[in-house]
Amino acid sequence: MAEVTDCSVCAEKFTSSVRTKICCGYCSYNACKTCVTRYLLSQVLDAHCMNCRMGWNREFLDLNLSKAFVKGLWREHKKKMYLNREKALLSNFQKYAAAKKKMQEIGPKLSEALKNHTAIDNEKHKCHATISERKQKIARDNIQPNEEFYVNHLSYISKLSDIYKEETENYIIYQRLQMRFNRYNNIYNDNDTTVKEKKEFIMKCVKEGCRGFLSQSYKCELCSTYVCKDCMLIKAEKNDETHVCKKEDVDTVSMIRKETRPCPKCGIRISKIDGCDQMWCTADGCGTAFSWISGKIINGTIHNPHYYEWVRRNNNGVVPRNPGDIPCGGFPDYHSIGTPLRALGLNVSYTATTPLNKQVSLIYAIHRCFMDIQGFRIPMYTTIRDNIMFKELHVNFLLENLTEEKWIQSIFMKELNMEKKNAILAVLQTFLAAGQDLFREIVTQLNELVAKKTPNKAYIVTIDEFKNVIEVLDQFEELRNYINQSLIKTGEDLSTPVPQISQPWICESAASTERIKEKAKESKEKK
């Protein structure tokens, strides 16, 4: 097949600089660097191929695009993309912001009621002690009570009665405040089981300086402002009879309402933000991304490129399955490996020095390493974008505890941290997916050796018969080296600490790439 020399988009000839040829590793689609960068900056999703829409990771961008673009224009584009997405989702956090505001209002009153309760309780005990002391003194000193005693005694009894009354009143206030606080706290923490009419926030509050949103009743929960639904001007109260709409205001609102689009999935109408084509449906259970211009749902899947590269390298270039596609049977467990080994009389021994027992010990060590990564490391690097991730940040912004500049920077840092974790996660998932294939091959080889064994007769496996298993163990070592290098490359690209799989097959804690290289150099010098 003749080599492609023209860009598939602009039909210009490829050059060595401005129009460098960029080939997608998944579909082999060719386009020049100029067209690719223009396309990426026009999209509302993470970097992907314009033909097959498969995701491109940071490593692919660094290899094919200029450093100035990746760390300049592309970085700023991602910032804007993240900001637009979170702006579109802000109304989802209105109820949390309103609940937190109520808790902040109730909190000092609750503390004051508790303080009063303590003071009243102390006064009550003091009064009880005085009455008790007077009674004890009369009994101890054999004093005959007179009229003055009874008058004083009755005054203490009356005072105690007033204290009990005050205590009851304060307790009622405290309980009411506590119930209100708990209700808003449950709303904030999504523990509210009370069935209520769902509130949908339809647009931003019109009051100057407020960052809240108006509900369907045209009330802002943050500043308690009511707005006329026809002219969008602030009203004194919900049913303000003195309010009269002006025709020009009503006409303006009618025109503004045209600046919304219905979600193609659930039908909720959504307003446009900052001229961006990206739209995000904020309805619970929807979260659909769609284009403002075309109205079409935007889809795009980020796949794991490390796995494809590894299997292509070790599978004669055959396109592999997706690493998330776990074949029937899943990852071989301890018993799947241990059963045939024991049937062959090969039990692990940490003190044995025979070549065969060393290989058996290595099999178990590798398996333990994989189980550690699967059960501990993978969950540690798994991040899910949900309400909890941005909740505190968005609530503080709505309550004006954060400036917009600080809010934007915090959003980007959270996204960047998630990008780093996802990059490390992709490499570790590659390790698991490729290792699973190799372990299944080991189980197959061991079961074939067991099948050769004559029933009820002693059978000793020789090192030569074990050579197929040893070859697979050699592939494990190649995989370990590849994964370690991929992790180091990821750490360098994203300036983040990364884990490493050491020679005794132990997954070490994340460290900087500089420290990893220093340790590798020290280890080499010792040898």
Q: Which of 132-141, 175-184, 202-211, 299-308 has the highest mean pLDDT?
A: 175-184
Output 34 or 59, whichever has higher pLDDT.
34
Contact 345, 459 (CB under 8 A): yes
d(CA 505, CA 105): 56
pLDDT of residue 208: 82
Output 36 or 78, whichever has higher pLDDT.
36
Q: Does position 513 have pLDDT exceeding 60, yes or no?
A: yes
Total Cβ atoms within 10 A of residue 54: 18
- Mean pLDDT confidence for 302-310: 50
pLDDT of residue 275: 56
Mean pLDDT taken over the chain: 81
Output 441 or 231, whichever has higher pLDDT.
441
pLDDT of residue 322: 46
pLDDT of residue 139: 73
Query: Bridge-partner residues for 214, per DSSP?
Result: 203, 220
Interacting residues of 8 by C-beta distance below 8 A, sequence separation 6+:
29, 30, 31, 51
Q: Does position 159 have pLDDT exceeding 70, yes or no?
A: yes
- Mean pLDDT confidence for 19-30: 91
Question: How much of the chain, in percent, has pLDDT values that exceed 90?
Answer: 30
- Mean pLDDT confidence for 451-472: 79
- For the chain, what are the domain ranges? 21-91, 92-188, 305-526
Q: Does position 227 have pLDDT exceeding 60, yes or no?
A: yes
Q: Does position 320 have pLDDT exceeding 80, yes or no?
A: no
Q: Which amino acid is at 201?
A: F
Contact 415, 78 (CB under 8 A): yes
341 vs 65, 130, 367, 378, 457, CA distance in Å?
50, 84, 14, 28, 16
Output 502 or 292, whichever has higher pLDDT.
502
Q: How do residues 392-423 score in pLDDT, each as one tens digit?
A: 999 999 999 999 889 988 988 888 898 899 88
- Mean pLDDT confidence for 222-227: 84
Query: Bridge-partner residues for 213, per DSSP?
Result: 204
pLDDT of residue 301: 42
Which of 276, 313, 255 is closest to 430 using CA atoms? 313
Q: How do residues 326-351 score in pLDDT, each as one tens digit?
A: 444 568 888 888 888 888 878 765 55
Output 273 or 256, whichever has higher pLDDT.
256
Contact 24, 36 (CB under 8 A): no
pLDDT of residue 65: 92
Using 50, 70 and 90 to split pLDDT, how confident is the model at 428?
A: very high
pLDDT of residue 372: 93
Q: Which helix (H) or strand (E) holds 510?
A: strand 507-511
pLDDT of residue 473: 94
The structure's pTM equals 0.68
Q: Does position 167 have pLDDT exceeding 50, yes or no?
A: yes
pLDDT of residue 458: 62
d(CA 290, CA 288): 6
Q: How do residues 99-153 score in pLDDT, each as one tens digit?
A: 999 999 999 999 999 999 999 999 988 888 888 887 787 777 777 767 677 677 7
pLDDT of residue 302: 39
